[in-house]
Amino acid sequence: MTEIEVRRLRVFADETGAGGSLLAVVLDAAKQFPDADERLVLARRLGVPATVFVDDAEQAEVTVHTPGGELPTAGDALVGAAWKLGRILGGHPAVLRPPGGDAASWQDQGRVWARVPLAGVPAWTHRQVADAAEVDALTLPRPAGADLEQVWAWLDEPAGIVRARAFGERHGVVEDEACGSATMLLAVALGRRITVRHGAGSIVLAAPGPEGFADVGGLVVEEERLVIDDLSEFLAG
C-alpha cells in the first residue's frame, strides 16, 4: 500500500484559532480504504471524535466515521471537509455528498458553513440548566442515561449566546469538545440562530435551515499533516 496522508484539523475553533474539535481527513480514500471495516479500524487508531474519508475530491464524496462506527453525516466533519477540499480544489465546494444526503456549503466572514440534512444526524437530547456555572461543574464519567446528551445554559439569551457541553460515549467520544450535530438540533429546537461556547474553548454557530435541515458553521484551523508509511505498524501501535 502506498503512503497514507491524513490531515488533522480543529473545527469550531474560537476567535483566536484556539480550541475546536479534532477531525482527521483521509485523502484518496476510495483507493486506499475501500472496505468500511478498515476505515473503522483507522478511525479508532487515530483517536479523534470523527474521521472523514474523501472518496472523490472533485465530487466532494465523503464518509464519516467515529471511533464507534460510521455516521450518515456529522456537522463538524462536513464543515472541516469543506474547508480542506476548498484548499485542495482551489475553490470552495458548493455541495458535500456524504451517505446521509447532500449538504450545501459556503463561506461567510471567514467561517465555513454546511446545511446538513437532519435525518442523518444522531439523536442527541438536550438538557437546559440554570446557568453556565452548572454546565462547567459537570464531571466525568456521566451517569447512566446521560449519554448522547448536550447540557446547556444561556449566557446571553437576547443575543443568542449559549454555554454547552456534549457527551456521546456510545460513539466512542466521552465528551465532544465541539459538537455540531447536537448544536444544530438545539438551534432547531430553539427556532433561532445561536452562538455556542462549547466544551473547553470552542465556538459553534448554528441556525435552523429549511424544513429537515439545519446550518452549522465555524472557524477551521489545520493542526498537522500526518503521513503513514506503514499502515500495519501504525494500526498495531
In the predicted model, what is the mean pLDDT of the chain? Answer: 93
Of residues 123 and 171, more confidently modeled: 123
The class that CATH gives domain 4-112+220-236 is alpha beta
**What confidence score (pLDDT) does residue 226 get?**
86
| Nearest by Cα to 198 from 185, 187, 183, 186 | 183
Instruction: Give the C-alpha separation, 75 to 93, whole Å.
Output: 15
**Average pLDDT rounded to a whole number, residues 6-33:** 95
Task: Give the distance, in angstroms, between the CA of residue 189 and the centroid of all CA atoms in the same chain.
Answer: 19
Residue 90 Cα distances to 53, 75, 87, 105, angstroms? 19, 22, 5, 15
| More confident of the two residues 68 and 14 | 14
At 25-55, the pLDDT tens digits run 999 999 989 988 889 999 999 989 899 999 9
219-231 mean pLDDT: 88
**pTM given for the model:** 0.92
Q: What is the pLDDT of residue 229?
A: 82
**Position 1 pLDDT exceeds 70:** no
Please name the fold of domain 125-218. Answer: Diaminopimelate Epimerase; Chain A, domain 1 (3.10.310)
Q: What is the pLDDT of residue 228?
A: 85
Contact between 83 and 75 (Cβ < 8 Å)? no
**130-170, pLDDT tens digit by residue?**
999 999 999 998 887 788 899 999 999 999 999 999 998 87
Quote the cell numbers at residue 225.
499533516
Q: Is the pLDDT of residue 178 over 70?
A: yes
What are 226's strand-pairing partners?
Answer: 6
Region 173-185: mean pLDDT is: 93
Q: How far apart are CA 10 and CA 134, in angstroms?
A: 26
Same fold, 4-112+220-236 and 125-218: yes
Q: Please tell me the distance from the alpha carbon of residue 49 to that of residue 19, in angstroms, as a whole number.
A: 14
Residue 180 reports pLDDT greater than 90: yes
Q: Residue 2: is its pLDDT beyond 80? A: no
Residue whose C-alpha cell is 464507534: 68
Query: In the structure grid, which three cell numbers stand for residue 165, read together?
Result: 457541553
Q: What is the mean pLDDT of residues 109-132?
A: 96
At residue 237, the pLDDT reads 64
The pLDDT, as a whole number, for residue 51 is 96
In the chain, where are the structural domains located? 4-112+220-236, 125-218
